[in-house]
Structure 1
Amino acid sequence: MINKTITKLLEENQEKTIEIRRKLHSEPELSWEEYNTSQFVYEFLTDLGIECRKTEPTGVIGTLTGGKEGRTVALRADMDALSVDELNADLPYKSGTAGKMHACGHDAHTSMLLAAAKALAEVKEDIPGTVRFIFQPAEEVATGAKAMVEQGAMEGVDDVFGIHIWSQMPTHKVACNPGPSFASADIFKVHFKGQGGHGAMPQDCIDAAIIASSFVMNIQSIVSRTIDPQKAAVVTVGKMVVGTRFNIIAENAEIEGTVRCFDAGVRDHIEKQLQVYAEQTASIYGGSATVEYIRGTQPVINGEESAELVQQVAKEAFGEDALYDEKPTMGGEDFSFFLDEAPGSFALVGSGNPEKDTEWAHHHGKFNVDEDALATGAELYAQYAWAYLNK
């Protein structure tokens, strides 16, 4: 199942992989602004002899046609950074742009997939089929994958595989269980309308602050009292803007939050219940409510056959103890839009190492990657493609 030539090629290019990751880390670009990153990727793939095209505005698709006929497997990496100030002051390759940082490991994903592309290109004639490399923008705003699908990224693809660096797992460990991996991630916005007035005369007013506060407290019972406790779900209010001045009873209140779950029926139920709770809570106090529910990413559900192949590849490439049983996360991932088009799976590669201070949470200003994990990710990408096409 494992191609030893690929392993050797990746080992020989390990320093180059680290060099590329550091370059990308020092030059972060936000979602839909990845112009320099995508140009670098395009030129790198083109130099390898891999057929490339860009998608609007900042995606890159590479196609490596093997020397033998066969199926098509897609490998995906995301490229965008976050609006985060880097706090790793002593890092020689720290972000060169204030307020922008690769705080989620997408620089690592990009460098790992480029390394895999280079190794696969060198064994091109032995590949029975086609490898498609998808370098995706705007994962952090959950719109990049969908845009690339609409521009043909998944046309003709039989299977798709992606990786995420994971600081909560030890370096070199690999997790890819069949079934739920990442939750759906939706946004809800609620506007409550009351009747403002003097803070000393509440009897003449309808207090939007009271309506909004009651709503925030009450909606937690949607999960705790209306959903099967064996089905995971989270309803979180992250933003609340109420009133204009300390002695004026608020006429308006704006609330924003997120809903996370794995089950389509639970998702529909929560959306309906938010509407009911908003309207009924407002009605109790004599106000009104309008609700906007925005569906974001789908849940990432790993296909059984694909996830088992990842596990087989990881065991053969890195040893039996490489597998890690990481539980599903309520975080969101727009890799789900690729899984809507073809079967596949999404793996986590550990990069947490206390000796290198790389156990910080994703999206934190001190987030960093144990670069030893790059070799694991690059080989997993390449060997998965090889194993799938030779299956």
Structure 2
Amino acid sequence: MNPRAEPPGIAERLATTARALADIIVAHQRTLHRFPELAFEERRTSAWLADTLRGLGLEPHTGLAGTGLAVELPGAGPGPTVMLRADMDGLPVREEPSHEPRSEHEDRMHACGHDGHMAVALGAAEAVVRVAGEGGTLPGRLVVLFQPAEETGTGAARIVEEGVLDRLGVDYVLGLHLWSFAPRGQAIVPDGTVMASADEFRVAYSGRGGHGALPHEADDVVLALAHLVVALQALVSREVDPVRPAVLSVGRIEAGSAPNVLPTRGELEGTFRAPDTDVRGHLLHRVGELARSIAAAHGVEAEVSFGAGIPPTVNHPGPARLLRAAAAAVLGPDNVRDGPPTMAAEDFGLFLRERPGAFMLLGMRDEAAGVVAPHHHPDFRVAPGALAEGCEILLRAAVALMESRADGG
């Protein structure tokens, strides 16, 4: 007589339910894709998410950081509280006309996968509701946060400043980013840095304008800006250790209105990224110092300003180890890597400064399905098959964190 088989544990029950919800999760992503909204304008998105959660018998906390919302899931046990985070905002990108579904707004698009992230989080919520309804109990408590304004790097800061993590009693944080730069079925979960910091700067030069034929009677702000663009490139190539990555790019220059007029004012804007906080600090200091020095050399006035910026996204090794194990259970051990990090940025790093946790890049590049365009591109698409995978991985990792109380080290 065969021994009686042990019933599946809570992680396996959640995983099985997440897989069964695959079509529903895809349907959520397709619906959300139709009405992208920009940072802190996600009112329709927030209302739709709240209605969907209420349809599951849940009562979300709304109005977080303006348009965000959070929900506490049923079936809680005595262990720690884990928060799953999904970002909500779209981008000011005009979508490729052949897309189906397609954005209802001509100049806005979910071009970074946030519609997919929200769908994954909704799938996790529904999986927990179903399992709890069958008597399942989690080893701890699970909450889901839908966060506005990731693209501007300001949404997570607002959530932290408003004390949302404290009010929800969050002990650990988990998140993912659907990633078009890795093949479908692969995941990247480093022990340390996942994504770089992101800072933006603006430099404006002003001086005496004049006639293009008489430059000695004027101050040439265009020449000064040109020198600054060239000099800024040396900050990375000559002042940063070559084995410590960094990148600096100038994306906008504006000055003048006629070819024979030396303008009185010109300005440029750029960004720099660094996974290392010391390198970030060096660049913050040197961009301003260099801009003012070049202004003085050209006899013009300088105005230098920086955006709020976001820190690197740095995983805590304990939670990262559990998230890698969860990904390996879904994708296979050979398909989970611990690097390398990317120079793209994410404001999830602010949560990881407040609580231990981990963040995953979930590959979804699928040439056969036409999912090949990079993030922020008009032809960007989400691979439907990656959504249930992401949902299952996050649920498995959340249960493992509740069971282990992994520290940040």
Q: TM-score range by the shorter chain?
A: over 0.9
Task: After TM superposition, list the pairs within 5 Å mapping 1:289-308 onto structure 2.
Answer: 289-308=302-321
Match of 2:150 among 131, 135, 139: 139
CA contact (8 A) 1:2 1:387 kept: no
CA contact (8 A) 1:314 1:323 kept: yes
CA contact (8 A) 1:173 1:322 kept: yes
CA contact (8 A) 2:74 2:129 kept: no
Which has the larger share of strand? Answer: 1
| Structure 1 residue aligned with 2:81 | 72
4+ runs deviating over 3 angstroms: none
Aligned identity (percent) is 37
C-alpha RMSD over aligned residues? 1.6
The amino acid of 1:92's aligned partner reads: E
Cα separation, partners in 2 of 1:22 and 1:99, compared to 1, 3 Å: same
Match of 2:232 among 198, 210, 219: 219
Task: After TM superposition, list the pairs within 5 Å mapping 1:1-391 onto structure 2.
Answer: 3-54=11-62, 55-89=64-98, 91-124=99-132, 125-155=136-166, 156-324=169-337, 326-391=339-404
The amino acid of 1:23's aligned partner reads: T
Please list every run of 5 or more consecutive structure 2 residues that lacks an aligned counterpart in the other structure. Answer: 1-8, 405-409
CA contact (8 A) 1:134 1:153 kept: no
Cα separation, partners in 2 of 1:390 and 1:370, compared to 1, 3 Å: same
The alignment of Structure 1 onto Structure 2 pairs a total of residues equal to: 390
The amino acid of 1:108's aligned partner reads: G
Structure 1 residue 67: deviation in Å? 4.1
CA contact (8 A) 1:25 1:101 kept: yes
Cα separation, partners in 2 of 1:285 and 1:258, compared to 1, 3 Å: same
Cα distance in 1 between the residues matched to 2:84 and 2:48: 18
Cα distance in 2 between the residues matched to 1:194 and 1:86: 41
SS at match of 2:151: coil
The CA deviation string for residues 338-369 of structure 1, in whole angstroms up to 9 with x for no partner, is 11210111101111100111010100000001
CA contact (8 A) 1:51 1:64 kept: no
SS at match of 1:160: strand
Cα distance in 2 between the residues matched to 1:236 and 1:294: 15
Which is worse superposed, 195-204 or 273-282?
273-282
Please list every run of 5 or more consecutive structure 1 residues that lacks an aligned counterpart in the other structure. Answer: none
The amino acid of 1:32's aligned partner reads: F
Calculate the TM-score normalised by the size of structure 1: 0.96
SS at match of 2:54: helix
SS at match of 1:141: coil
Which is worse superposed, 150-159 or 112-121?
150-159
SS at match of 1:268: helix
The CA deviation string for residues 12-38 of structure 1, in whole angstroms up to 9 with x for no partner, is 221111111111112222221211211
